[in-house]
Protein backbone atom coordinates (compact mmCIF):
# COMPACT_ATOMS: atom_id res chain seq x y z
CA UNK A 1 0.00 0.00 0.00
CA UNK A 2 1.57 3.29 -1.12
CA UNK A 3 0.85 6.01 1.43
CA UNK A 4 3.00 8.91 0.24
CA UNK A 5 3.17 10.51 -3.18
CA UNK A 6 3.73 13.75 -5.04
CA UNK A 7 1.12 15.14 -7.43
CA UNK A 8 3.09 16.95 -10.08
CA UNK A 9 0.76 17.66 -12.98
CA UNK A 10 -1.99 19.95 -11.65
CA UNK A 11 -2.10 21.72 -8.28
CA UNK A 12 1.32 20.43 -7.27
CA UNK A 13 1.30 18.97 -3.80
CA UNK A 14 2.44 16.16 -1.57
CA UNK A 15 -0.23 13.66 -0.57
CA UNK A 16 -0.42 11.16 2.26
CA UNK A 17 -2.95 8.39 2.71
CA UNK A 18 -3.21 7.93 6.47
CA UNK A 19 -4.82 5.27 8.60
CA UNK A 20 -7.73 6.25 10.80
CA UNK A 21 -10.48 5.04 13.09
CA UNK A 22 -13.54 3.53 11.32
CA UNK A 23 -15.50 5.82 9.01
CA UNK A 24 -18.42 7.21 11.01
CA UNK A 25 -20.88 6.35 8.23
CA UNK A 26 -19.22 3.31 6.68
CA UNK A 27 -22.22 2.27 4.59
CA UNK A 28 -21.72 3.69 1.10
CA UNK A 29 -22.65 0.89 -1.28
CA UNK A 30 -19.56 1.34 -3.50
CA UNK A 31 -16.95 1.58 -0.76
CA UNK A 32 -14.47 -1.04 0.30
CA UNK A 33 -11.62 1.20 1.35
CA UNK A 34 -12.93 1.30 4.91
CA UNK A 35 -11.10 -2.03 5.20
CA UNK A 36 -8.06 0.16 5.87
CA UNK A 37 -9.70 1.54 9.04
CA UNK A 38 -8.48 0.34 12.43
CA UNK A 39 -9.54 0.51 16.07
CA UNK A 40 -6.02 0.45 17.38
CA UNK A 41 -4.91 4.01 18.05
CA UNK A 42 -1.38 2.82 18.64
CA UNK A 43 -1.18 1.00 15.30
CA UNK A 44 -2.73 3.95 13.46
CA UNK A 45 -0.32 6.48 14.90
CA UNK A 46 2.69 4.24 14.34
CA UNK A 47 1.96 3.83 10.64
CA UNK A 48 0.97 7.47 10.20
CA UNK A 49 4.11 8.81 11.86
CA UNK A 50 6.24 6.74 9.47
CA UNK A 51 4.29 8.02 6.46
CA UNK A 52 4.46 11.63 7.62
CA UNK A 53 8.25 11.46 7.76
CA UNK A 54 8.27 11.57 3.95
CA UNK A 55 6.87 15.09 3.79
CA UNK A 56 9.40 17.65 2.60
CA UNK A 57 7.16 20.69 2.11
CA UNK A 58 8.64 21.18 -1.38
CA UNK A 59 5.36 22.44 -2.86
CA UNK A 60 4.13 24.22 0.29
CA UNK A 61 0.89 22.29 -0.23
CA UNK A 62 -0.12 19.04 1.45
CA UNK A 63 -3.13 16.78 0.99
CA UNK A 64 -4.10 14.43 3.78
CA UNK A 65 -6.58 11.68 3.02
CA UNK A 66 -7.75 8.69 4.98
CA UNK A 67 -10.40 6.07 4.31
CA UNK A 68 -13.06 8.21 5.94
CA UNK A 69 -13.09 11.79 7.20
CA UNK A 70 -10.24 13.81 8.70
CA UNK A 71 -12.23 13.85 11.97
CA UNK A 72 -11.50 10.13 12.30
CA UNK A 73 -7.73 10.69 12.38
CA UNK A 74 -6.38 10.38 15.95
CA UNK A 75 -5.36 13.59 17.69
CA UNK A 76 -1.71 12.54 18.02
CA UNK A 77 -1.48 12.19 14.25
CA UNK A 78 -3.21 15.55 13.76
CA UNK A 79 -0.74 17.19 16.13
CA UNK A 80 2.15 15.63 14.21
CA UNK A 81 0.74 16.98 10.93
CA UNK A 82 0.49 20.43 12.50
CA UNK A 83 4.09 20.23 13.69
CA UNK A 84 5.25 19.30 10.17
CA UNK A 85 3.17 22.09 8.62
CA UNK A 86 4.92 24.62 10.85
CA UNK A 87 8.35 23.07 10.41
CA UNK A 88 8.13 22.77 6.61
CA UNK A 89 6.29 26.05 6.16
CA UNK A 90 3.34 24.45 4.40
CA UNK A 91 0.77 27.06 3.42
CA UNK A 92 -2.18 25.09 2.15
CA UNK A 93 -3.82 21.85 3.25
CA UNK A 94 -6.34 19.68 1.44
CA UNK A 95 -8.54 17.65 3.79
CA UNK A 96 -11.52 15.40 3.19
CA UNK A 97 -14.71 14.99 5.15
CA UNK A 98 -18.14 13.42 4.88
CA UNK A 99 -21.18 15.73 4.85
CA UNK A 100 -22.01 14.51 8.39
CA UNK A 101 -19.23 16.71 9.79
CA UNK A 102 -20.24 19.82 7.87
CA UNK A 103 -20.74 21.84 11.04
CA UNK A 104 -17.31 20.97 12.40
CA UNK A 105 -15.08 22.05 9.54
CA UNK A 106 -14.02 25.25 11.30
CA UNK A 107 -12.52 23.15 14.10
CA UNK A 108 -9.91 21.93 11.62
CA UNK A 109 -9.42 25.42 10.17
CA UNK A 110 -8.73 26.78 13.66
CA UNK A 111 -6.54 23.85 14.66
CA UNK A 112 -4.20 24.08 11.65
CA UNK A 113 -4.35 27.85 11.19
CA UNK A 114 -3.61 27.72 7.45
CA UNK A 115 -5.79 27.71 4.35
CA UNK A 116 -7.75 24.46 4.08
CA UNK A 117 -9.44 23.20 0.94
CA UNK A 118 -12.19 20.92 2.15
CA UNK A 119 -13.03 18.09 -0.23
CA UNK A 120 -16.06 15.88 0.15
CA UNK A 121 -17.40 12.85 -1.69
CA UNK A 122 -20.51 14.07 -3.47
CA UNK A 123 -20.32 11.26 -6.05
CA UNK A 124 -23.20 12.90 -7.95
CA UNK A 125 -25.45 15.90 -7.50
CA UNK A 126 -28.38 13.65 -8.46
CA UNK A 127 -29.88 13.33 -4.98
CA UNK A 128 -31.67 10.02 -5.58
CA UNK A 129 -28.70 8.28 -7.11
CA UNK A 130 -26.38 9.61 -4.42
CA UNK A 131 -28.49 8.76 -1.41
CA UNK A 132 -30.67 5.84 -2.51
CA UNK A 133 -28.40 3.91 -4.86
CA UNK A 134 -24.99 4.83 -3.51
CA UNK A 135 -26.30 5.13 0.06
CA UNK A 136 -24.11 8.15 0.67
CA UNK A 137 -26.17 9.74 3.43
CA UNK A 138 -25.21 13.21 2.24
CA UNK A 139 -28.52 15.01 2.28
CA UNK A 140 -27.98 18.41 0.72
CA UNK A 141 -30.51 19.86 -1.68
CA UNK A 142 -28.21 21.14 -4.39
CA UNK A 143 -24.65 22.27 -5.12
CA UNK A 144 -25.32 25.64 -3.52
CA UNK A 145 -26.08 24.07 -0.16
CA UNK A 146 -22.99 21.86 -0.48
CA UNK A 147 -20.87 24.89 -1.34
CA UNK A 148 -21.93 26.66 1.84
CA UNK A 149 -19.63 24.22 3.65
CA UNK A 150 -17.19 22.54 1.26
CA UNK A 151 -14.73 23.84 -1.34
CA UNK A 152 -14.18 20.87 -3.56
CA UNK A 153 -16.62 18.10 -4.57
CA UNK A 154 -15.44 14.62 -5.56
CA UNK A 155 -17.58 13.15 -8.31
CA UNK A 156 -17.76 9.53 -9.40
CA UNK A 157 -18.48 8.47 -12.98
CA UNK A 158 -18.97 5.17 -14.79
CA UNK A 159 -21.24 3.28 -12.44
CA UNK A 160 -23.87 0.86 -13.79
CA UNK A 161 -27.22 2.60 -13.32
CA UNK A 162 -25.77 6.09 -13.76
CA UNK A 163 -26.88 7.98 -16.88
CA UNK A 164 -25.07 10.26 -19.32
CA UNK A 165 -27.43 13.08 -18.30
CA UNK A 166 -26.40 12.74 -14.65
CA UNK A 167 -22.73 12.91 -15.61
CA UNK A 168 -23.26 15.87 -17.97
CA UNK A 169 -25.05 17.72 -15.19
CA UNK A 170 -22.35 16.92 -12.61
CA UNK A 171 -19.52 18.02 -14.88
CA UNK A 172 -21.37 21.20 -15.77
CA UNK A 173 -21.76 21.99 -12.05
CA UNK A 174 -18.14 21.38 -11.11
CA UNK A 175 -16.79 23.22 -14.16
CA UNK A 176 -18.81 26.33 -13.56
CA UNK A 177 -19.28 26.60 -9.82
CA UNK A 178 -16.21 25.35 -8.01
CA UNK A 179 -12.57 26.39 -7.89
CA UNK A 180 -11.49 22.79 -7.43
CA UNK A 181 -13.04 19.36 -8.02
CA UNK A 182 -12.04 15.75 -8.52
CA UNK A 183 -13.62 13.21 -10.86
CA UNK A 184 -13.09 9.57 -9.97
CA UNK A 185 -13.72 7.06 -12.74
CA UNK A 186 -15.20 4.08 -10.93
CA UNK A 187 -13.04 0.96 -10.83
CA UNK A 188 -14.59 -2.34 -9.77
CA UNK A 189 -13.77 -3.33 -6.21
CA UNK A 190 -15.11 -5.86 -3.73
CA UNK A 191 -18.46 -4.01 -3.34
CA UNK A 192 -21.66 -4.94 -5.17
CA UNK A 193 -21.53 -1.83 -7.34
CA UNK A 194 -20.32 -2.42 -10.88
CA UNK A 195 -18.50 -0.34 -13.46
CA UNK A 196 -20.23 0.45 -16.76
CA UNK A 197 -17.43 0.23 -19.32
CA UNK A 198 -19.52 1.70 -22.12
CA UNK A 199 -20.32 4.73 -19.99
CA UNK A 200 -16.65 5.09 -19.04
CA UNK A 201 -15.60 5.05 -22.74
CA UNK A 202 -18.22 7.67 -23.53
CA UNK A 203 -17.01 9.83 -20.62
CA UNK A 204 -13.32 9.52 -21.50
CA UNK A 205 -14.02 10.52 -25.10
CA UNK A 206 -16.43 13.36 -24.40
CA UNK A 207 -14.57 14.84 -21.47
CA UNK A 208 -10.91 14.40 -22.41
CA UNK A 209 -10.65 18.21 -22.46
CA UNK A 210 -10.87 18.09 -18.65
CA UNK A 211 -7.26 16.93 -18.65
CA UNK A 212 -6.34 20.47 -19.70
CA UNK A 213 -8.47 22.23 -17.13
CA UNK A 214 -6.43 23.17 -14.11
CA UNK A 215 -9.12 23.11 -11.45
CA UNK A 216 -10.51 19.66 -12.37
CA UNK A 217 -8.50 16.55 -11.56
CA UNK A 218 -9.63 13.31 -13.21
CA UNK A 219 -8.53 10.02 -11.67
CA UNK A 220 -8.88 7.29 -14.29
CA UNK A 221 -7.59 4.80 -11.74
CA UNK A 222 -8.01 5.16 -8.01
CA UNK A 223 -4.23 5.07 -7.63
CA UNK A 224 -3.65 8.02 -9.99
CA UNK A 225 -2.64 10.26 -7.10
CA UNK A 226 0.10 7.71 -6.40
CA UNK A 227 -1.38 6.42 -3.14
CA UNK A 228 -3.52 3.39 -2.37
CA UNK A 229 -3.31 -0.09 -3.86
S1 LIG B 1 -18.04 8.03 3.73
FE2 LIG B 1 -16.25 7.51 2.46
S3 LIG B 1 -15.06 6.03 3.65
FE4 LIG B 1 -17.10 6.18 4.60
S5 LIG B 1 -18.27 4.48 3.66
FE6 LIG B 1 -18.66 6.32 2.43
S7 LIG B 1 -17.12 6.31 0.78
FE8 LIG B 1 -16.46 4.84 2.37
97 lines ligand 1 (CB under 6 A): no
As a whole number, mean pLDDT of residues 113-123 equals: 98
Query: Would you say residue 109 lies in a domain?
Result: yes
Query: Would you say residue 225 lies in a domain?
Result: no
100 lines ligand 1 (CB under 6 A): no
The CB density around residue 147, as the number of other CB atoms within 10 Å, is 15
pLDDT at residue 33, rounded to an integer: 87
Mean pLDDT computed over every residue of the chain: 97
Query: Would you say residue 26 lies in a domain?
Result: yes
Query: Would you say residue 229 lies in a domain?
Result: no
Name the residue range of residue 59's domain.
4-219
CATH number at residue 197: 3.20.20.70
pLDDT at residue 222, rounded to an integer: 85
Counted domains in the chain: 1
Query: Would you say residue 227 lies in a domain?
Result: no
Query: Would you say residue 91 lies in a domain?
Result: yes
Contact between residue 136 and residue 180 where contact means Cβ atoms under 8 Å apart: no
17: helix, strand or coil: strand
In the chain, what are the helix, strand and coil shares in percent, each to the nearest 5? 40, 20, 40
- Per-residue pLDDT for 218 more than 90? yes
Query: Would you say residue 111 lies in a domain?
Result: yes
Residue nearest to atom 2 of ligand 1 (CA): 68
Query: Looking at ligand 1, which atom is closest to the CA of residue 98?
Result: 1
161: helix, strand or coil: coil
pLDDT at residue 39, rounded to an integer: 97
Query: Would you say residue 228 lies in a domain?
Result: no
Say how many Å lie between the CA of residue 179 and the centre of ligand 1: 23
120 lines ligand 1 (CB under 6 A): no
138-187 tens-digit pLDDT = 999 999 999 999 999 999 999 999 999 999 999 999 999 999 999 999 99
Residues 6+ apart with CB under 8 A from 184: 154, 155, 156, 157, 219, 222
Residue 229 pLDDT class (50, 70, 90 cuts)? confident
Amino acid sequence: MERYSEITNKNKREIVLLKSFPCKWGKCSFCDYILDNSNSEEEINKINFEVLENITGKFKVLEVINSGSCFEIPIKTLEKIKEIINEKKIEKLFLESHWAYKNRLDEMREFFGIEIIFKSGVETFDNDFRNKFLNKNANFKDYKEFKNYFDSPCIMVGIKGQTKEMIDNDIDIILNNFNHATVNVFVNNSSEIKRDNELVSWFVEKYKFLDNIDHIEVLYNNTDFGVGD
